[in-house]
Amino acid sequence: MKERLESVGIEMDPKKRSGSFLLLDQEVKSVAKYFEGVEIMPIRRALEEYEWLEDYMWKAVKADDVEEDVREDFNGYFIRALPNAKVEIPVEACLYLSRVKRQRIHNVIIAEEGSELNVISGCTSHPKATGMHLGVSEFYVKKNAKLTFTMIHSWSEDVEVRPRSGVIVEENGTFISNYVLLSPAKLVQMYPTAYLKRNAKAVFSSIVVAFKNAKIDMGNRAVLMEGGSCAEIISRTISKGGRVVARGHIVAEAPEVKGHLECRGLILEEGEILAVPELEAKCPNVDLSHEAAIGKIAEDEIFYLMSRGMTQDEATSMIIRGFMEIDVKGLPPALKREIDKAIELAERELL
C-alpha cells in the first residue's frame, strides 16, 4: 500500500507536508496537521463542528449530479486555509479504494480571504480492487486567495472513477488545477467546472494516458461569470490502446473576459482520441480561443535524437516526456516534483 501511496505523491512526512489525510474505503485512517494556518479534518467532524459548513455543501456541485447514496452517506476531507495564511508546503490527502463497491466521497476545500493553499490529492486503489470511486469535491477560493490543487490518479485496471468537482473563485482569486492520470483504469468520467467572479483566474492542466481497454472521458470547464476573469485550459492526452474524449469548455457570461483552450493528443501504436474543444460566448467583447491537435511521434524527431547517440527507446521516451511537459506557472516545486515522478513511472509503461 505504501508503494501505491507514494506513486500518487503521498509521503506522510511532516517535513515535506503541511498536513496529511488518509481515507481507506469509507473510513478515515489518519489525519495530521503540521502547520498552524491550516485546518484538516474528516468532513463528518467538520460538519458537526462548523454549522456554517452546511452553506458550502452542494453549492459548487449540484446535488442532482450525483446518485442518492453519495448524497446521503459519504466521507471525505475538509481542508481550510485560514484568512491570510500562506500554506506553501502542500497538504496531502489520499483516498484509497480497496474493498468497497462504491467509495462515496465528499470533500470541501476552502482558501479563505488572502490565503494561499497547496493541496496534493492522491487517489489510488488496491491492485485487485473492482469498485467505483464516486467523489464530490467542492472548492472555494475567496477574495485574493490562491489555491493550487494537484490531483494524481493511479487506479487499477478494474476500477471506475466518477469524480464531480466544482470550484467557485471569488474576486481576484486564483485557482490552479493539475490533473495527472498515468496508470490504467477501466473508466474515468469527469468534468470539473470553475465559476469565476470579477478578475478571478483559473488554470487547468491535465496529463492523461489511456491504456488498453480504458475509457476516459474528461475535461475542464470554466464559466467566466464576471468581467476581468480569465481561464486557461491545457491538456495533453496520450492513448496507448484506450479511448479518450478530451473535452474543454469555456463559457463567457460577461464582457471583458478572456479564455484559451489547448488540447493536444498523441496516439502511440493504436487507440482513439476525440478532442472536443468548446467556446461559448453569451455577450460581446470577449476574447476566447482554442487550439486542438492530434498527432503521432514524428519519425524525423526520433531519428534526430538517435543521431545524438540515443537508442530508439531513449529517443521516443524523451519525446513523450517533452509532450507531457506542461509549464505551469506558479506551481510549487514540491508539486512539480510529484508530477515529474508520476511521469517517470508512466514512461516505463509507455515503451
Partner 1 sequence: MKDVLRLVNLGVEVEGRKIIENVNLYIKQGQTFVLFGPNGSGKSSLLMTIIGNPKYRVVGGRIIFKGKDVTDVPTHERVKMGMGIAFQNPPKIGGVRLIDVLKHCAKLGGTEDKIEKYVKMLGMEDFLNRELNVGFSGGEVKRSEILQLLLLNPDFVMLDEPDSGVDVENVAIIGKAIRRLLERDESERRKAGIIITHTGHILDHVDADYGVVLHGGRIVCMGDPFDLLDDLRKYGYEGCVRRCLRRS
Residues lying near partner 1 in the complex (CB under 8 A)? 298-301, 303-312, 318-319, 321-325
Residue 327 C-beta: closest distance to partner 1, Å: 9
Helical (H) or strand (E) element with 186: none
Q: How far is the CB of 203 from partner 1 (least distance, A)?
A: 18
Contact indicator for 234, 326 with CB cutoff of 8 Å: yes
Three-state DSSP string of 37-99: CEEEEEHHHHHHHCHHHHHHCCCCCCHHHCCHHHHHCCECEEEEECCCCEEEEEEEEEEEECC
Identity of the residue, 116 or 262, whose beta carbon is nearer to partner 1 in the bound complex: 262
Q: Residue 321 Cβ, how far from partner 1 at the closest point, in Å?
A: 7
Mention every residue, 6+ apart, whose C-beta is less than 8 A from residue 293.
263, 264, 265
CB neighbours of residue 295 within 10 Å: 11
Q: Is 254 helix (H, G, I), strand (E, B) or coil?
A: coil
- 3-state DSSP assignment of residue 304: helix
Task: Supply the minimum distance, in Å, between the C-beta of residue 146 and partner 1.
Answer: 25
> What's the closest the beta carbon of residue 287 comes to partner 1, in angstroms?
23
Query: Which residues does residue 264 pair with via DSSP β-bridges, in sequence order?
Result: 236, 293
Nearer to partner 1, 58 or 323 (CB): 323
337 membership: H or E segment, kind and range: helix 333-350
Q: Which is nearer to partner 1, 308 or 329 (CB)?
A: 308
**Considering beta carbons, is residue 186 or 236 the nearer one to partner 1?**
236
Pick 252 or 343: Cβ nearer partner 1: 343
Q: How far is the CB of 322 from partner 1 (least distance, A)?
A: 3
Cβ-based nearer residue to partner 1, 313 or 349: 313
